[in-house]
Structure 1
Amino acid sequence: MSIKLALAVAPENALMSAFVVFRDKLENSMMKAAMLGYDGVELALLNKKQVDLPKVKKIMKETGLEIPMVSTGQIFADTGVNFTHQDKNKREKALTDFFGLMEVAAELGSLINIGRLRGVLTEGEPSIDYFRESMEKALKRSDELGVTIALEPVNRYEINFLNNCYQTAEIIRSLNHPRLKMMPDVFHMNIEDPSIEGCFWKYADLVSYVHFADSNRWAPGRGHLDFQSIISALKASGYNGYISLEILPFPEPDQAALEAINTIRKFI
């Protein structure tokens, strides 16, 4: 299988903290992505009620689009619940919402990510233990549903732990579960990792999905990242999964989505 391209989209009422090009009815965004030539669409969701599964499956069948990823950052951004919250009820609510999106992922044959949903470490609290407990429950459910979880390193300005690929790889290996992988994002890597290309080489066995955006979160080509070098390293490491464009809708949504695919296609 060769590398494929996806576009991250969200429902029309999603917060601006969902870094997506299209905020619209999911079926509209899917049709746009298909017309632009994307292979798949990543769904950035708050809860499972936002997805009309029969309608999404119908469009998948009509267009050939895949749904490679369900992303979960909106749970954290919209509700504040997370896996390390001091309040046990809020940790449990985070898991309940996450399990709902895992069911969506299972129906669509998707992976599911954990980025900001893991929360932050709080001084004086056993937050890392809360995180591990939540992850163990999530991984148990992943076995039941057959869904792989992709843990995303997120930069220090958004959350305060598992900021780089090294830290994330260490905890993935300590949890030691076949359905737990890594989801690097070159926007975060540009801030936190000494070498984007080096990380793809070093952690090739863990990388299951990749987010692309330029250094300013605009479409590739609008910042300073060297995507030819990055993609060459990805390909040389043996990666053959999805690259998903998680970008801001600037200068305007359709143009951003088109520029993104045109820039990346020429390198893959």
Structure 2
Amino acid sequence: MFNYSVTQWIFGDESLEDSLKRLQKYGYQGVELAGEPDSIDIDSTKKLLRKYDLACSSICGIFNPERDLSSSDASIRKNGIEYVKKCINLAKSLHASTVIVVPTFVGKVNPDTNVTEEWQNAISSVKEVGLYAKDNDITIVIEALNRYETYLVSNLTLALKFVEEADVESVKMMADLFHMSIEERDMIKILSKISRHLAHVHIADNTREAAGLGQTDFKPVISFLKDINYNGYITMEFLPAVSNPYLASELHGESNIFDDFTRQSIQHMKKIA
């Protein structure tokens, strides 16, 4: 019923082929790749995707301080905009439908100037990349993080306000169950509120481990997605206990842990579905 993928950069520094072997073994349909266009070989990536019969579900934008779409520094905003455009080109080349965008850099918990100015900076940046995405038939999804990872769009109510102000057809929203477990009082109520814009879903338990290892009740969420005929990917994004999620891409992981979490996630979600 649903298509499942995994964010590949959570597997640390292992090769893409090793990750794809794992995803094929456990019955996934896709993989979400890190948004690092300058380091991805398009042709070899396409060959590997064909070899393991997997699709590129999405591109996960990696937003560091040099890619801050809300920055008061025009040169940083320009760099961020050009970066997202490269991610859109990458998505198009790999036949992915979706690029994830965070309006600030991850870990920016205070504005450089003030919230009003930086909100407008981010809106202007996303309008520009949204129009570029529309021209390339790609959907941008705005990701709300949580208060410990961003100050600007830190819950889905703010993300909805952001998307409606951006007002570009190709700019939609995603729901991340880990962030929601921190910020949302009622998951179904907020999902109902944003449902017309919902185009992507990230799954991790409240501990940020594989689904089913923590306290999150995924049953109402899956029932809701069924009821609205959600047809986007359900993407697993379990992570180690690190303060900055991007540190996961630098870790030397144990393949048996990756196997356990990858299997656990899809089996738990399929059992519910």
Question: Is 111-120 or 168-177 further displaced after alignment?
Answer: 111-120
Aligned to 1:103: 89
1:207-218 pair list within 5 angstroms: 207-218=198-209
Question: Is 241-250 or 84-93 further displaced after alignment?
Answer: 241-250
Aligned to 2:79: 93
Shift of the alpha carbon at 1:200?
Answer: 2.1
Superposition TM-score, scaled by structure 2 size: 0.86
Shift of the alpha carbon at 1:117?
Answer: 4.5
Q: How many pairs were matched up?
A: 254
- Determine if the alignment matches structure 1 residue 112 to structure 2 residue 117: no
CA 1:63/1:69 → structure 2, altered by over 3 Å: closer, same or farther?
same
SS of equivalent residue, structure 2 residue 100: strand
Question: Is 205-214 or 258-267 further displaced after alignment?
Answer: 258-267
Superposition TM-score, scaled by structure 1 size: 0.88
Contact 1:72 1:113 in 2 (8 A): yes
Contact 2:123 2:162 in 1 (8 A): no
Aligned to 1:66: 55
CA 1:102/1:8 → structure 2, altered by over 3 Å: closer, same or farther?
same
Q: Which amino acid aligns with 1:83?
A: L
CA 1:136/1:164 → structure 2, altered by over 3 Å: closer, same or farther?
same
C-alpha distance in 2, partners of 1:256/1:21?
11
Shift of the alpha carbon at 1:197?
Answer: 1.9
C-alpha distance in 2, partners of 1:118/1:236?
34
- Determine if the alignment matches structure 1 residue 266 to structure 2 residue 271: yes
Shift of the alpha carbon at 1:244?
Answer: 0.3
Q: Which amino acid aligns with 1:6?
A: S
Shift of the alpha carbon at 1:56?
Answer: 1.6
Shift of the alpha carbon at 1:3?
Answer: 1.5
Aligned to 2:253: none
Query: Deviation digits for residues 181-206 of structure 1, max 9, x if unmatched?
Result: 10110111111112112222222111
Q: Which amino acid aligns with 1:5?
A: Y
Q: Which amino acid aligns with 2:157?
A: Y
Shift of the alpha carbon at 1:37?
Answer: 1.0
Aligned to 1:189: 180
1:175 to 166, 179, 182: 166
Contact 2:67 2:76 in 1 (8 A): yes
Over aligned residue pairs, what C-alpha RMSD do you find? Answer: 2.0
Shift of the alpha carbon at 1:170?
Answer: 1.7
SS of equivalent residue, structure 1 residue 149: strand
Contact 2:5 2:234 in 1 (8 A): yes
C-alpha distance in 1, partners of 2:238/2:211?
9
2:189 to 191, 195, 198: 198
Identity %: 24
C-alpha distance in 1, partners of 2:21/2:104?
29
Query: Deviation digits for residues 218-251 of structure 1, max 9, x if unmatched?
Result: 0011110001222112212321221100002588
C-alpha distance in 2, partners of 1:241/1:176?
21
Aligned to 1:5: 4
Contact 2:69 2:103 in 1 (8 A): no
Q: Which amino acid aligns with 1:257?
A: T
Contact 1:118 1:131 in 2 (8 A): no
Contact 1:154 1:162 in 2 (8 A): yes
Contact 2:103 2:142 in 1 (8 A): no
